[in-house]
A and B are shown apart, each in its own frame.
Chain A
Amino acid sequence: MSEAPDPIVQEFLLESREHLDQLDRDLVTLESEPGSSATLARAFRALHTLKGTCGFLGFTRLGAIGHAGEGLLARLRDGDVTFSLDVASALLTLVDRVRRLLDQIERTGSEGTGDDSVLLSALQRLQGAPATGSAPSMRPVEPEEEPADEPSGSTPGDARIKVDVQRLDRLMDLVGELVLARNQLVTRAGSADPRTVQEATQRMSALTSQIQSEVMETRLQPIATAWDRLPRLVRDTAVACGKEVRLELEGGATEIDRSVLDAIRDPLVHLVRNAIDHGIESPTVREACGKARAGVLRLSASHAGGRVRLEVSDDGAGIPVDRVRARALERGLVADARAQHMSDREWLDLVFRAGFTTTDKVTSVSGRGVGLDVVREHLAAIGGSVEVRTQPLAGTTFELRLPLTLAIVPALVVACGDERYALPQSAVLEVVRTGPGRNGAGIVTVAGGRVLRLRDALIPLVSLREQFEVPGKAPEHGFAVVLQSGASCFALQVDETGETQEVVVRPIGAAHRGLAVFAGVTLLGDGRVALILDPAGTARRAGLGLDLPVAVPVPPTQPVAPEHEWLVCELREGWFGALPLGEVLRIEEFGRDQIERLGGQLVARWRGQMLPLVELAGAIDPDRATSRLSRRRLTAVVHESAGVPVGWLVDQVLDAVVTIEIPAPVVPRTGVRGTAELVGHPVDLLDPSALLAPGGSCERLARRAAA
Chain B
Amino acid sequence: MSERRRFATLRVEGTLYGIEAEHVQEVMGPAPLTRLPLAAPAVAGLMNLRGRIVTVLELRRCLGLPPRAADAGVVNVVLRAADNPMGLLADEIGEVLEVDASAWAPRPETAQGPGAGLVSGVYRLESELLCVLDPEAVRARAAA
Contact = CB atoms under 8 A, between A and B. Distances in A.
Contacts of A419: 34-35
A529 B48 contact: yes
Contacts of B38: 468, 515, 517, 541
Nearest to A420: B34
Interface in B118-140: 139
Interface string B35-76: 111111001011110010111000000000000000000000
Contacts of B25: none
Contact of A512 (B47, B54, B139, B142): B142
Nearest to B39: A512
A530 interface: yes
Question: Which interface residue of A467, A517, A528, A530 has the most chain B CB atoms within 10 A?
Answer: A528
B143 A529 contact: no
Interface residues on B, range: 20 to 34
Given A509-B55, A511-B55, A511-B143, A529 B37 contact: no
A469 interface: yes
A468 B38 CA distance: 7
B37 A510 contact: no
Contacts of B54: 509
Given A521-B46, A523-B48, A529-B46, A509 B34 contact: no
B35 A506 contact: no
A528 B51 CA distance: 10
A527 interface: yes
Contacts of A530: 34
Contacts of B113: none
Interface in A460-481: 467-470
Interface in A527-548: 527-531, 541
B14 interface: no
B34 A531 contact: yes
A437 interface: no
Interface in B68-98: 84
A509 B37 contact: no
Interface residues of A, number: 21
B34 A529 contact: yes
Given A521-B46, A523-B48, A512 B34 contact: no
A512 B143 CA distance: 6
A506 B55 contact: no
Interface in B1-52: 32, 34-40, 43, 45-48, 51
Q: Of residues A467, A468, A511, A521, which shows the largest number of chain B Cβ atoms within 10 Å of its Cβ?
A: A511
A531 B53 contact: no
B37 A467 contact: yes
A156 interface: no
A469 B41 CA distance: 13
A608 interface: no
Top-3 shortest CB links A-B? A468-B37, A511-B142, A529-B34
Interface of B: 32, 34-40, 43, 45-48, 51, 53-55, 84, 139, 142-143
Interface of A: 419, 467-470, 506, 509-512, 514-515, 517, 521, 523, 527-531, 541
Given A511-B55, A527-B32, 16 more contacts: A419-B35, A468-B37, A509-B84, A511-B84, A512-B39, A515-B39, A521-B53, A523-B51, A523-B53, A527-B48, A529-B46, A529-B47, A529-B48, A530-B34, A531-B34, A531-B37
7 contacts: A509-B54, A509-B84, A509-B142, A511-B84, A511-B139, A515-B39, A529-B46
